[in-house]
């Protein structure tokens, strides 16, 4: 349970939904399961949500909103693109590591469930693209960056994070920051500069093996 997230019945229900998704998957989760995990009566759930799909969407929405808040707090137009990419990557991965059941609900269950939950997740992901695509300003005048570079980089980073969640290694999401930063910046900086930006002594060998 992630009790620090919950200050109301609604928030406890979101925590319960995320826990059930991580434990048994959204498809096999029922409203009574969510209420039992949240420790709230079913009539409270029915007063707050239209059904479990609506509740999953709200669960994903809460994670996306917190990710946006942390990105805004740590990134600034006054900073360089590389500094913002480093700060933003650490902010998002730190959040996912803190809230692994919410991460599972958003990155794995929402897409499978479809509907508004998937829409909320994909909209949140799309909001990251303009920040990533600013990297095209780093390229030399004679370099042509494909328009799909940002989407491809984000898809690669997403696959790495999802694989880590599926392996049951959510505690590794924070330390994964150098790998994710490399994937997000290499289309714009090139292999050498992206390695230098993402490299840390603890991850150096691993990064070069991945690259």
Instruction: Give me 165's structure tokens.
Output: 């969640």
What pLDDT, in 10s, does the model give residues 108-147?
Answer: 999 999 999 999 999 999 999 999 999 998 866 556 888 8
Q: The whole model's pTM is what?
A: 0.88
202 exposed, middle or buried (CB, 10 Å; 0-12, 13-18, 19+)?
exposed
**Cα Rg of the chain (Å, integer):** 18
Cα–Cα dist 84/103, whole Å: 22
pLDDT per residue over 22-67, tens digit each?
999 999 999 999 999 999 999 999 999 999 999 999 999 999 999 9
């Amino acid at each position: 349970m992630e009790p620090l997230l919950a200050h109301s019945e609604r928030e406890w229900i979101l925590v319960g939904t995320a826990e059930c998704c991580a434990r048994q998957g959204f498809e096999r989760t029922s409203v009574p399961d969510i209420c039992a995990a949240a420790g709230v009566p079913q009539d409270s759930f029915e007063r707050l949500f239209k059904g479990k799909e609506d509740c999953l969407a709200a669960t994903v929405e809460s994670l996306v909103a917190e990710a946006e808040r942390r990105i805004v707090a740590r990134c600034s137009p006054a900073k360089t693109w590389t500094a913002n990419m480093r700060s933003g990557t650490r902010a998002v991965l730190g959040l996912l590591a803190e809230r692994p059941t919410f991460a599972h609900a958003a990155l794995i269950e929402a897409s499978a469930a479809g509907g508004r939950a998937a829409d909320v997740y994909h909209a949140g992901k799309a909001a990251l693209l303009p920040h990533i695509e600013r990297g095209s300003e780093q390229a030399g005048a004679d370099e042509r960056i494909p328009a799909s570079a940002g989407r491809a980089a984000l898809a690669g980073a997403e696959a790495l994070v999802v694989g880590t969640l599926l392996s049951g290694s959510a505690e590794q999401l924070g330390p994964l920051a150098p790998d994710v930063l490399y994937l997000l910046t290499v289309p714009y900086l090139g292999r050498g500069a992206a390695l230098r930006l993402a490299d840390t002594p603890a991850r150096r060998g691993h990064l070069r093996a991945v690259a």
